[in-house]
């Protein structure tokens, strides 16, 4: 580890211990030390759990910052790995799309995370045999066929709108809070369609009276 000027700086990281986006303090660095962009490995202490997180990426020095240590960070968590919270019942391609959304979030790419959530919704519609090509219509078809219900439909439409905001260059980025909510709502939709529905059907099958 070397003291490259970033030791002691604060940055935003996804803590694999807490499974939360958190503020951390850089306590060690191994970098190429090539301003204004310095890439490398950083050991960050999470301010929430106080444990170490190994991240990879770079700090961009603001040339007209008020302080010589004024950095913007683009960091990807290497260890501990972000844990998947999805059931094995969720199809693999949808798991990969959702996990990519989480990876974007952990790197602070909140707009990209929202776009990947929207892509996951498109994958759900395709997997469920929806014929409509426009996502808004596809979600309506999921509702009309009983695959999702009132509030879940409202959630899905809100995620679609947020994804559209991220996908189009409007000058309005997606913030951290909206991206975090999008991930949580997307996970709830996946659980409902691929886990809870199946478990409910199995439960009701067991409860049928014997002939």
pLDDT for position 67: 52
Token pair listed for 182 = 């999008």
Mean pLDDT (whole number) for 193-211: 84
Per DSSP, the residues of 47-86 read: TTT--EEEEEEEEEEPTT-SSTT-EEEEEEEEESPPPP-S
Q: Where in the chain is the domain with CATH 1.20.120.330?
A: 92-207
Question: Is the CB of residue 156 less than 8 Å from the CB of residue 128?
Answer: no
Structure-token match 């426009």, residue found: 134
What distance lies between CA 131 and its chain's CA centroid?
A: 27
Q: What is the mean pLDDT of the chain?
A: 83
Mean pLDDT for the stretch of residues 45-71: 71
The arithmetic mean of pLDDT across residues 20-49, rounded, is: 78
On whether the CB atoms of residues 204 and 130 are closer than 8 A, the answer is no
Count of other CB atoms within 10 angstroms of residue 211: 3
Per-residue pLDDT, 64: 46
Mean pLDDT, range 9-22, rounded to an integer: 79
pLDDT, average across residues 39-59: 86
The confidence score (pLDDT) of residue 97 equals 94
Separation of CA 29 from chain center:
26
Q: Residue 68 pLDDT more than 60? A: no
Question: pLDDT at position 65, please?
Answer: 47
pLDDT at residue 37 tops 80: no
- What is the token pair recorded at 88? 């094995």
Rounded to an integer, the average pLDDT of 123-150 is 93
In the chain, pLDDT over 90 holds for what percent of residues?
39
Q: What is the pLDDT of residue 1?
A: 38
* Token output for 48: 């929430």
> What is the predicted pLDDT for the residue at 172?
83
pLDDT digits (tens, 9 = 90+) for 69-121: 555 556 778 888 766 678 888 999 999 999 999 888 877 889 999 999 999 99
Give the model's pLDDT for residue 168. 85
Residue 201 scores a pLDDT above 80: yes
pTM above 0.85, yes or no: no
Assess if CATH 1.20.120.330 describes domain 92-207. yes
């Amino acid at each position: 580890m070397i003291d490259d000027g970033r030791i002691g700086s604060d940055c935003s990281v996804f803590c694999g211990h807490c499974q939360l986006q958190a503020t951390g303090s850089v306590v060690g660095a191994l970098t190429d030390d090539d301003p204004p962009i310095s890439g490398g490995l950083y050991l960050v202490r999470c301010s929430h759990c106080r444990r170490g997180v190994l991240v990879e990426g770079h700090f961009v020095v603001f040339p007209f910052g008020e302080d010589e240590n004024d950095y913007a960070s683009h960091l990807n968590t290497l260890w501990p790995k972000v844990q998947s919270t999805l059931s094995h019942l969720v199809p693999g391609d949808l798991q990969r799309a959702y996990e990519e959304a989480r990876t974007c979030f952990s790197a602070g790419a909140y707009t990209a995370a929202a776009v990947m959530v929207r892509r996951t919704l498109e994958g759900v519609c395709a997997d469920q045999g929806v014929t409509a090509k426009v996502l808004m219509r596809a979600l309506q078809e999921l509702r009309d066929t009983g695959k999702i219900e009132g509030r879940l439909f409202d959630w899905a439409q809100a995620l679609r709108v947020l994804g559209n905001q991220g996908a189009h260059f409007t000058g309005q980025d997606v913030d951290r809070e909206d991206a975090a909510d999008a991930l949580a709502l997307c996970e709830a939709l996946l659980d409902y369609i691929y886990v809870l529905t199946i478990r409910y059907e199995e439960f009701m099958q067991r409860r049928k009276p014997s002939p």
